[in-house]
Structure 1
């Protein structure tokens, strides 16, 4: 099932022996476009500390009660490595986390990641190269960087088309079986129509964290003319077919 990440913020995290807090944001892998961690702000029982929970720990999503169920205990959470979620998360910190929990090291396997169902997520090489180039250009390349990005710090990046700026990165649509990112939601910033559209990670040519921009391989008109996205309606097979038809037509005419 496809879900909006924004709709999952505020969900309660339920361990095998009680609630530990609410989901506040997510970390996604910009190599594979996969959600790697849910960031949970714990309650007073753990001084409000934020902790990282892998989707691999999830055993169910209770939409009716806005909750995630996980197969770990409160004690495991309490004794987990203290990782500052307001700072970049490095591979060394992840290794400590994966030693503490019985989770699979997703970074093994030549750039292939895994979601909760064990589905393989292929690396988006062009996107990763663009990010690497941006880091080198701005002197921010870091050894050991696991390429994790905070949704809270990436949402609201401006969209730059091939012929100008248009729209704002607003949300992500994920497949909850694999936690792969399927679409980016773009608000076209059109006060007359409040138009929103969906684009795939394949349409991204560069992410510039230094200037908070997402550069896409589309023109302003191509974005404006793409199928409308209604956040109140589910993303289903019809939605995906319309997008494939539209973007496929653009590719065939270029």
Structure 2
């Protein structure tokens, strides 16, 4: 069963030796539709700073455990490890250089080097970084990875069918064990007759950061023929 990603926003995040803040956002990879990073707001612990955490930092059942128990995501890292990790400006797209430095700091493989990775099961606990490692601030002149998008930001993007606008992104339905986005929840129709329908990632042609738009390979008729809470599909006879 998939979960609405909004269930996880605001969850507390704990290190092995204390709380570090709360879950503010996710970054997902448009090419694979995997959640690549949790964005953690560190609040009063590290004022003004947000940190990224990957699936490597958590047990495979971290999300399900948090939903059924104390609503705390428990990371397999210390507060010191997180504090000394490379800093990131979450107001700008994440650069590939930052990702390289981030994964090197923790000793984790990058997802583009481990293309076969589709989930979190069997991933070993992280190796502590060298004691001498310290925080690094990344500027804006790095190469930006345009395939990473914020789930909180894309919620609200316009949905563009092949022939005309067809709604807006409401949220994402995710598999908490594999960190995959399985469906996109979309508000379609008029203000007086809004329907919630589901779009599969395979039906997304591209996401435009500049246009705040998700482009589909489905027609507006395909969307119109989709019933409430059902998955949109191409109408029979249409390529």
Q: Per the alignment, in what secondary structure is the counterpart of residue 89 of structure 2?
A: coil
Aligned residue in 2 for 1:123 = none
1:158 has 2:143 as partner: no
Aligned residue in 1 for 2:135 = none
Could you report, residue by residue, the CA deviation over 1:70-97 in whole angstroms, capped at 9, with x for unpaired residues? 1111111111111111111111111111
1:63 has 2:67 as partner: yes
Alignment of 1:38-57 (within 5 A): 38-57=38-57
Alignment of 1:70-81 (within 5 A): 70-81=75-86
Gaps of 5+ in 2: 124-141
CA apart distance, 1:18: 1.0
Gaps of 5+ in 1: 120-141, 230-241
CA apart distance, 1:173: 1.1
Q: Per the alignment, in what secondary structure is the counterpart of residue 45 of structure 1?
A: coil
Aligned residue in 2 for 1:232 = none
Please say if residues 22 and 40 of structure 2, whose CA atoms lie closer than 8 Å, have aligned partners that are also in contact: yes
1:90 has 2:75 as partner: no
Q: Per the alignment, in what secondary structure is the counterpart of residue 100 of structure 1?
A: helix
Could you report, residue by residue, the CA deviation over 1:216-237 in whole angstroms, capped at 9, with x for unpaired residues? 12222311221322xxxxxxxx
Following the alignment from structure 1 to structure 2, what is the Cα–Cα distance between the partners of residues 2 and 146? 26
Q: Per the alignment, in what secondary structure is the counterpart of residue 145 of structure 1?
A: coil
Could you report, residue by residue, the CA deviation over 1:202-224 in whole angstroms, capped at 9, with x for unpaired residues? 11123222211112122223112
Following the alignment from structure 2 to structure 1, what is the Cα–Cα distance between the partners of residues 173 and 122? 19
Following the alignment from structure 2 to structure 1, what is the Cα–Cα distance between the partners of residues 85 and 238? 53
Q: Which has the higher helix share?
A: 1
Aligned residue in 2 for 1:237 = none
Aligned residue in 2 for 1:200 = 200
Following the alignment from structure 1 to structure 2, what is the Cα–Cα distance between the partners of residues 151 and 13? 18
Aligned residue in 1 for 2:214 = 214
Aligned residue in 1 for 2:119 = 115
TM-score (norm 1): 0.77
Alignment of 1:123-162 (within 5 A): 143=143, 145=145, 147-162=147-162
1:250 has 2:232 as partner: no
Q: Per the alignment, in what secondary structure is the counterpart of residue 99 of structure 1?
A: helix
**Cα root mean square deviation, aligned:** 2.3
TM-score (norm 2): 0.81
Please say if residues 12 and 71 of structure 2, whose CA atoms lie closer than 8 Å, have aligned partners that are also in contact: yes
